[in-house]
Chains A and B, each alone.
Chain A
Amino acid sequence: MATFTECRMVPVLVVWLALCLSGTWAVDRSNFKTCDQSSFCKRQRALKPGESPYRALLETMELTNTRLTLQLINDNNKVRLLLELYRLQGNMTRVKINELKPLKPRYEVPDVLVREPPTEPLSVLSQDENGVVLSLGVESQRVIVSAQPFRLDIVEGHNVLMSLNSRGLLAFEHLRMRKDTQAEPEAENKEEADTAHQAETTKEEEEKVEEGMWEETFKSHSDSKPNGPSAVSLDFSLPGVEHVYGIPEHADTLRLKTTDNGDPYRLYNLDVFQYELYNPMALYGAVPVMLAHNTQRTTGIFWLNAAETWVDISSNTAGKTVFGKMLDYVQGSSETPQTDVRWISESGIIDVFIMLGPTPKDIFSQYASLTGTQSFPPLSSLGYHQCRWNYNDQEDVRSVDAGFDEHDIPYDFIWLDIEHTDGKRYFTWDPHKFASPKDMLQGLKDKKRNMVAIVDPHIKVDSNYKIHNEIRSRGFYVKNKDGGDYEGWCWPGNAGYPDFTQPDMRAWWASMFSYDQYEGSMDNLYTWNDMNEPSVFNGPEVTMHKDAVHGSWEHRDVHNLYGLYVHRATMEGLIQRSGGVERPFVLTRAFFAGSQRYGAVWTGDNAAEWDHLKISIPMCLSLGLVGISFCGADVGGFFKSPSPELLVRWYQTGAYQPFFRAHAHLDTPRREPWLFGPENTALIREVIRQRYTFLPYWYQLFYHAYRTGEPVMRALWVEYPQDPATFAVDDEFLIGRDLLVHPVTEEGARGVTAFLPGKEEVWFDIHTFQKHNGAQNLYIPVTMSSIPVFQRGGSIIPRKLRVRRSSACMEHDPYTLFVALNTRRTAEGELYIDDGHTFNFDNKEFIHRRLFFSNNVLSSVNVAPEAQFTTKSWIERVVILGASKPRKVTLITADGHKSQLDFDFDASVSVLTIRKPSMNAGEDWSMALQ
């Protein structure tokens, strides 16, 4: 949903009104800071490379079993830093840098790491006055600590994998007393010296007081900055790397661009009204994780800092043309390609995790070991979601629900946006429009369907509102700089913002979701957290003032974490209301590293434009790379009204993305799937039904994401890491490793050119079963009904072809196995089954089978013999793509019983369809083609 577009209902927001009435369709850039307007970014970016004042004091080095510590000194001001170096299990190195003796503690991000990462011992290989060489244990990996200027190089054999401070851009603004205003400057200096936090610095070099260090204004907002400058910054060099990815959320290409000629990529959770595409501006969420990749290796950098952060990227090859690069190659004069990145954060410390891969999947597992994996969602949430701002009343909900049945279109969730509440008081219902929510929910439940209602974190300041009174009386609101409750404008008008960083606040919030507290709620009601950047209509950059106070920390320190905490507390509430039995489903707009543990995210308030359809692919791919698999974009586009063609194409794309929800702005005409004529209705019905046939595969992939952290929707290079042709592809994607999707995202398209990766691969069109070779660009003529999707030869995908009203209605239905043979005439796949909605899978209540085809025998074997689950589902059909015609097909069941099966063979496409083998999906069996 929802930025501030509804002028009529919030008459107070004069500034907004002006903005609304301006009626432009692009972001108003002047509402958001550039690096130049953000004083710390400007200061840090002005530093020149190669002038590092930092020196490692080797004599201070201490090595214990778990870590190495070492002091660094800034030779300009004599401020000392403490470097901590950890070797982490799973091929990672952690580098922490803080002030040795800060004036007061600096913020270290809590609650993001799933545990204190387990360490492995480091050992000193050699040491002299210039530096120390440490062994990282495996594979001749070493860390070289150079003393002057300080730098770290991580090497393997003769190759440098990554260097820190190699350009000398390490900067650490130490906390200091203010000396530019009060009293006489000299007295002030003396006083500071007396505080003596830098004991030995008798003659501290005069720190230059620059504008913006102690106070900063942006538009009409001022930031009081009581702690003064506190930014941290560090550069990383990546030799041999030309491709870097990640650091979502940006509306930009999958492959990150260099930032030399513009602003750095910004990470600062913001409610951006009508965001623009293909630029580095900040959006709703922030995951400070970057992946670097070349044909040899994938590495990752996880910069654990929740303050406003900017990331600069430069490359020594970026400016070169393809011809130039070739020339270098031919002449052999090429310098090694190298990408340099630099992270700048406004406060906190430097705490960085260097993930050394070497494969993309190693990176996923390394990052997952730090921040956890994607939560395993209820199966129903992988179905289709019908949303709109707003379904007006219970009758509206009933009639939309009935419309799906009338048009025979499945769906699992209908959504209610902010208008369902009593005056934007979350946890309540409009007494006229939603007078009997339980009747409504029961009506949906009778059809095995569910609902999501929005709960935003801004709380209407209203002494007749229970939630507000409780939060106020318990002191749970975020405070302003003067100690009062922070208040800002949002949907309800004047609103308070609960301090979700406090554990007791979160516990209280979670308790509000219990059935007795949240009146009108039932077990098929789930939750959506919007506006949790947090969005503050009248705040600087539409968010909270940085000098607002969360306990002992400033908002500045915790900003990018706020949304994660809201999401977490809500998710915990949904778990608790069921006594820990049922899996929750919570959608969030704002997120941070670790948000994958709490549910789904979407790409916010996009627009009904073809370019927004296109960008949904790289935006979700980028999120997948950093652990957040459950991603989707508003199908149809939130702002504006899509043409029927765009809407159909968007359904066709969204049906093959993880989170599949249609959504629309309040001011747009209705767009339920059946409102665009019978032809378009049929097209949309068909693609939603396709989605449902693939639910077993989606579900199995999410189970894997939960177990391993591997993305569900994958960039091609993840599966083909040695093929540079895949490195920048972001107009198509893989689902798991077995489905390749190239959606049609061009208006009036007559054809698309899909890249089919893999020299060894063959790909089968899932609609026509036509076989295509890998490693080619394939031109595919398209009509409005075409969705180019291919199944990889060598894979087995279980599907359920009996599409019903909702996923729950299909629970006991039989499977059809699609076996696509590769050139070696083998194939392999999995089948995962559980109850679809509880945590019982954690108690080994599931079926997990490996399916494989080789030597003309297809078999199902149990890969989790310790697990127990029974299913009514059976195998109704096996479709073998790329088969030859057998004389007979014999089924051998677990008890050794043999029976002949009927089959059809379509010689024109070499497809063998085996009729009704009928064995239970949870059993052992094999099937021989002779």
Chain B
Amino acid sequence: MFWYLLLLWGGISAVEVQRPRGVPLSKRPFYEENKPFTCLDGSRTIPFDRINDDYCDCQDGSDEPGTAACPNGNFHCTNAGFRPTFIPSSHVNDGICDCCDATDEYNSGAECQNTCRELWRKEKESMQKLAEIAKEGFLLKQQLIQEAKRGLEEKQTKLGEVQNSKKDLETNVEALRTAKEAAEQPEKEAKERHLKELLGGVDKVNTAAFETIWSKIREKYVSEVRTQTPSSNTDGPAPVETPQEEVREPVSDNDSEPYPDDDIPEEEDEDEDEDEDEDMDDGDYKVTGFDYILECLPIFTKSLFSSAAQKARNEFEEAERALREVDDQIRNLEKEISFDFGPSSEFAYLYSQCYELTTGEYVYRLCPFNRVSQKPKYGGSETNLGTWGKWAGPEGNVYSVMKYEQGTGCWQGPNRSTTVKLTCGKETVVTSTSEPSRCEYLMEFTSPAVCQEAPDLEVSDIHEEL
């Protein structure tokens, strides 16, 4: 796009071609001197002296290419030395310099300088800069593609391995289940007997007895519950759901899953966890009600049972847990392998990374394919500006825009969302953020992965007109 008009030797004049003011060279044949002029839409024919006489005769504005008389006319700036352009005829002689060759202000008293050469020089510079960036970026991109390829292969290999190990684990689990059931058999009768003693039957709750026991085992229960929900500990290290060994890239996003959860907004999960957490810290358990007791029952009855059965149980649970982990691994690997990281997986390197930008008030954080968030610089809680939604660029350039959706809701407004615009750059950086509309954020992000192969810098449009 950028290149087709680039001039390597702009501004060198060729032949001056006589034609009415504001007419481009290509349309000169329609304006034959001293012959009647037919409006370009064919609507009527007028004498030649009515061209550019500052009165609009043609409905299409074609008789006044060089004045502001027609509401729908266009004025052609030759802009010798730069790029020719059309401006609306309403910009002719309005006292504002629009054409770099100053030809639009011939009768307004505005003092316009010819800035075409200067513009051309600047544009050339910036294009060269961009071209260099694109060139280097494109090289980097090739590396990224290679890395992504290797990464993918590794993941596929890994997936194979894990799938194999899963079979072993499944066998193991079954074996341990049988062992556990055998070990538990003798104990079952004792347990039922005990239950009757304690509660006086299912329809008669001995709350006092329960409370006595509960107070003894409470601490143990609480700590068990805690370890069962480790992800609730937001201050701690990486969430357990993220199998560490899976992550080949350094994980900098340590407070959330690497994969977005498709169904449940993450924020809610965390909130719930936090709530539970707080409840536990309070230690304020209202242990009344039959349901609750039954729920707690297995925990305290455990303390009554034989160590042999306990051992079998532990082993079984351990094996089951291992199996679950492997399932998680497989799911994650499959997801990552099938993830759309671009036509050549060139965006794969962004996965499980995070990039920050600090502005006056906030620290913005983009974790590609995961989420965008905002945190006040001087303390305060983080706000989710959207979780990964989709590639959302225009047709033919889908991978130029990322969309993050369903962030924290706004009061009387939509859920927050973020559009990330990707541009070619050597570095992977968030360059700017803004909130053009309430709760709709815009982020500019550079990455070599969007760099296109730069065409050679060649002259494609030599500008000879004056």
Contact = CB atoms under 8 A, between A and B. Distances in A.
B437 interface: yes
Contacts of B436: 392, 396, 670
Interface string B407-446: 0001111100000000000000000001111111000000
Contacts of A263: none
Contacts of B94: 448, 804-805, 809-810
A394 to B, nearest CB: 11
B88 interface: yes
A648 B54 CA distance: 33
B90 interface: yes
A803 B71 contact: yes
Given A433-B360, A876-B55, A915-B55, A804 B68 contact: yes
Contact of B438 (A666, A802, A810, A813): A666
Interface string A441-478: 00000111000000000000000000000000000000
Given A21-B411, A670-B436, A809 B71 contact: no
Contacts of B53: 916
A565 B422 CA distance: 52
**Chain B: interface residue count, which band?**
20 to 34
A667 interface: yes
B91 interface: yes
A802 B91 CA distance: 10
A667 B439 contact: yes
Nearest to A17: B411
A173 interface: no
**Chain A: interface residue count, which band?**
35 or more
Q: Is the interface of B mostly helix, strand, loop or mixed?
A: loop
With a 10 A CB-CB cut-off, give which of B96, B361, B439 has the most chain A CB atoms: B96
B434 A805 contact: no
A805 B438 contact: no
Contact of B411 (A446, A667, A813, A915): A667
Given A667-B439, A668-B438, A803-B90, A448 B410 contact: no
B359 A667 contact: no
Interface in B28-67: 53-55
A835 interface: no
A20 interface: yes
Contact of B55 (A666, A810, A812, A916): A916
Contacts of B359: 432
B95 interface: yes
A801 B360 contact: no
A804 B90 contact: yes
Interface string A264-285: 0000000000000000000000
A483 interface: no
A804 B437 CA distance: 28
A396 to B, nearest CB: 7
Given A20-B411, A802-B71, A448 B435 contact: no
B69 interface: yes
Contact of B95 (A5, A395, A448, A802): A448
A332 interface: no
Contacts of B413: 667-668
Contacts of A876: 54-55, 69
Given A667-B410, A876-B55, A813 B68 contact: yes
B96 A448 contact: yes
A23 interface: yes
Interface in A878-915: 915
A21 B91 CA distance: 49
Nearest to A813: B68
A877 B55 CA distance: 9
A805 B91 contact: yes
A669 B437 contact: yes
A393 interface: yes
Contact of A667 (B55, B68, B434, B438): B438
A802 B439 CA distance: 40
B350 to A, nearest CB: 26
A616 to B, nearest CB: 23
Interface in A415-459: 430-433, 446-448
A810 B71 CA distance: 13
Contacts of A810: 94
A8 B438 contact: no
Nearest to B413: A667
Contacts of A801: 71
Contacts of B95: 448, 808-809
A8 B439 CA distance: 12
A689 B414 CA distance: 33
Contacts of A804: 68, 90-91, 94
A431 B359 CA distance: 12
Contacts of A669: 414, 437-438, 440
B438 A809 contact: no
Interface string B391-414: 000000000000000000011111
A7 interface: yes
Contacts of A803: 71, 90
Nearest to A811: B95
A814 to B, nearest CB: 8
A808 B96 CA distance: 11
Nearest to B97: A446
Interface string A757-779: 00000000000000000000000
A408 interface: yes
Contacts of A802: 68-69, 71, 90
Interface string A379-394: 0000000000000110
Interface string B60-95: 000000001101000000000000000010110011
B303 to A, nearest CB: 47
Given A408-B90, A804-B90, A395 B96 contact: no
Contacts of A392: 434-436
A395 B108 CA distance: 30
With a 10 A CB-CB cut-off, give which of A432, A667, A803 has the most chain B CB atoms: A667
Interface string A784-821: 00000000000000000111110011101100000000
17 contacts: A7-B411, A21-B411, A392-B434, A392-B435, A393-B434, A666-B438, A667-B413, A667-B439, A670-B436, A689-B71, A802-B71, A803-B71, A804-B68, A804-B91, A805-B90, A810-B94, A916-B54
A-B pairs, top 10 by smallest CB distance, nearest first, are: A432-B360, A809-B94, A670-B437, A916-B55, A667-B413, A804-B90, A667-B438, A669-B437, A804-B94, A802-B68
Given A23-B412, A431-B360, A447-B96, 19 more contacts: A5-B412, A20-B411, A23-B411, A432-B359, A432-B360, A448-B95, A448-B96, A667-B412, A667-B439, A668-B413, A668-B438, A669-B437, A801-B71, A809-B90, A809-B94, A813-B68, A876-B54, A915-B55, A916-B53
